[in-house]
Amino acid sequence: MKHYIGIAGTNSKASTNLKLMQYVKKHFNKDVDVELVDISSLPVFFKGTADQVPNEALEIAAKIEAADGVIIATPEYDHSIPAVLMNALAWLSYTKRPFIGKPVMIIGASYGTLGASRAQAHLRRILDAPELSALVMPSSEYFLSHSLQAFDENGDLKDEQKVVELENLMKQFNTYIQFAKNVDVTARLNSSQAQYLKVEE
């Protein structure tokens, strides 16, 4: 059974993106193991030395490194991703760089009609940065609009069409995982000798 890390890019316990990740974990539990990690406790990022990286960031990095893939659900704030998600990605690009060569699937929910589409597009660009170099699944989109009304009292999606869309996307991701294993990510090998960055201000 494949093991995925699920990240909800929020620090709100009431976030519909957290509900979406919880739904993914529950709905696909017979096929894949999705482990949700909490990024809300990470301190604000600062450039320092290796011994200044918080343990929380190291623990998350180790989980991502060991996983088959990562699923990120992002809200959209001001046409971009939330600060808490940007903060987490900054720390992770500064540790062992666990996203290098790691397959990633992006999903998102929003209160409005666009389903965090602009934030998802921005997140793709961020994950393509050299220090992250994630293998984001191409030609894949999942936009959950009007997310406050999207879930029932059990936390399940009400719209069967959105369920089918998510199931198809997960099938594609499982296939993409196999493809990604054959991708030669030279950057991962190059970075192995300098796992931590030492920055001089």
What is the span of the domain harbouring residue 135?
2-191
Does some domain include residue 200? Answer: no
Give residue 179's pLDDT: 84
| pTM of the predicted model as reported, rounded to 2 decimal places | 0.90
Confidence of residue 184 (pLDDT cuts 50, 70, 90): low
What CATH number does the domain containing 121 carry?
Answer: 3.40.50.360
Structural domains in the chain (count)? 1
The 3-state secondary structure of the chain reads CEEEEEEECCCCCCCHHHHHHHHHHHHCCCCEEEEEECCCCCCCCCCCCHHHCCHHHHHHHHHHHHCCEEEEEECCECCECCHHHHHHHHHHHCCCCCCCCCEEEEEEECCCCCCCHHHHHHHHHHHCCCCCCCEECCCCCCEECCHHHCECCCCCECCHHHHHHHHHHHHHHHHHHHHHCCCCCHHHHHHCCCCCCCCCC
Confidence of residue 129 (pLDDT cuts 50, 70, 90): very high
